Amino acid sequence: MKNAAIGISRRSFAIGGLSTGAALLAPGTLFGEGVQPVSGKTNLAGLPAGQPGSNTSFASLKQIDAGLLSVGYAEDGPPDGPPVILLQGWPYDIYSYVDVAPLLAAKGYRVIVPYLRGYGSTRFLSNDTVRNGQPYVVALDIIHLMDALKIQKAIFAGFDWGGRTADIIAILWPERCKALVSVSGYLIASPEANKKPLPPRAELQWWYQYYFATERGRAGYDQYRRDFAKLIWQIASPKWNFDDATFDRTAASFDNPDHVAIVIHNYRFRIGLADGESQYDKFEKQLAQLPAIAVPTITLEGDANGAPHAADPAAYRQKFTGKYDNRIITGGIGHNLPQEAPQAFAQAVMDVDRY
């Protein structure tokens, strides 16, 4: 798989890393040359012991006006600690980090975990605002949140939508990004590149994007959003035995009145079926050039990720020009890596802070 093919990645607008012509990665076949596996169950670097699922709530939930939104977010740790911003994916929410946040807070970090637009308690301040889900705007929301919280610079860590959002911030606002942890690597693509077809077996993995491209799909997602999310969880993390209470805590976020509009626009925009807002075109064009990321970075991958992703991390290695490491987290870890392996995820944040 060549780095030049990254821009044709279809799931790089949703999960990341699969290039045109590349075989889909089966769980258990991840390890590439020079990649070191790390157990997701190990008590790393003196982090407090605890199993995934040990926590069911955050230290505090807050709300603040930022840009176009009233943003709901969790906060933990000392207010004067080094800031870390943890970014959710789809169809997940801030509870992907319910076990990560206290680990980092215990080490002195100020941890911020925002609901993205369309999730949880985050709301648009005006009924007239376009319900826009394009990637640049999601990243801009986080910059506005930083301004509202008076955070000049932070470590960013995320997966899925959150990983892409963090990548975008590292590219367009490098002065605001101290370091980066990104699950599944380099997640930037462009709507134009995503128009190119993949082989049939690869296209099968994107069944939901074709569903979302139709009005039947929009209505179906609206009607069955919890069933839909649970199915994605099961496919993306086939060895994660989450219980109903864990799922229900997150699924409540999908009751947000703008959730369906944001999700549908996000996926349609990424394959060129919906327009973004014209004032952001120049930034989308910049991102479509697939710029390299210069901030210190650790990329992570689970050994049982059921979602499409790069079979070989070398596919995106050259997209990270600063100090860099890639880690494979073992133990049956799927796509929702921070919730399935919180200690390994927290350790990556602490380690990249020292780069």
Mean pLDDT of the chain: 89
| Residue-level pLDDT at 353 | 98
pLDDT band for position 198 (cuts 50, 70, 90): confident
Q: In this structure, are residues 177 and 156 in contact, taking their beta carbons and an 8 Å threshold?
A: yes
Query: 240-266, pLDDT tens digit by residue?
Result: 999 999 999 999 999 999 999 999 999
Total structural domains in the chain? 1
| Residue-level pLDDT at 265 | 98
Q: Pick the closest to residue 249 from 75, 115, 343, 105 (CA basis).
A: 115
| Residue-level pLDDT at 36 | 60
| Residue-level pLDDT at 49 | 62
Query: 43-81, pLDDT tens digit by residue?
Result: 555 676 667 999 999 999 999 999 999 999 999 999 999
Query: 143-185, pLDDT tens digit by residue?
Result: 999 999 999 999 999 999 999 999 999 999 999 999 999 999 9
Q: Domain residues for 72?
A: 3-353
Residue 328 has pLDDT above 70, yes or no: yes
**Span 328-355, mean pLDDT?**
97
Residue 13 has pLDDT above 50, yes or no: no
| Residue-level pLDDT at 125 | 98
| Residue-level pLDDT at 168 | 98
Residue showing tokens 């139709």: 214
**Is pTM, for the whole model, over 0.85?**
yes
Q: In this structure, are residues 134 and 276 in contact, taking their beta carbons and an 8 Å threshold?
A: yes
| Residue-level pLDDT at 8 | 28
Q: Which residue has the higher pLDDT, 50 or 278?
A: 278
pLDDT band for position 202 (cuts 50, 70, 90): confident
| Residue-level pLDDT at 165 | 98
**Span 96-124, mean pLDDT?**
98
Q: Which residues contact 234 (CB under 8 A, 6 or more apart)?
A: none
| Residue-level pLDDT at 194 | 85
**Span 109-134, mean pLDDT?**
98
- Amino acid occupying residue 218: R
CATH of the domain at 157: 3.40.50.1820
**Span 275-288, mean pLDDT?**
96
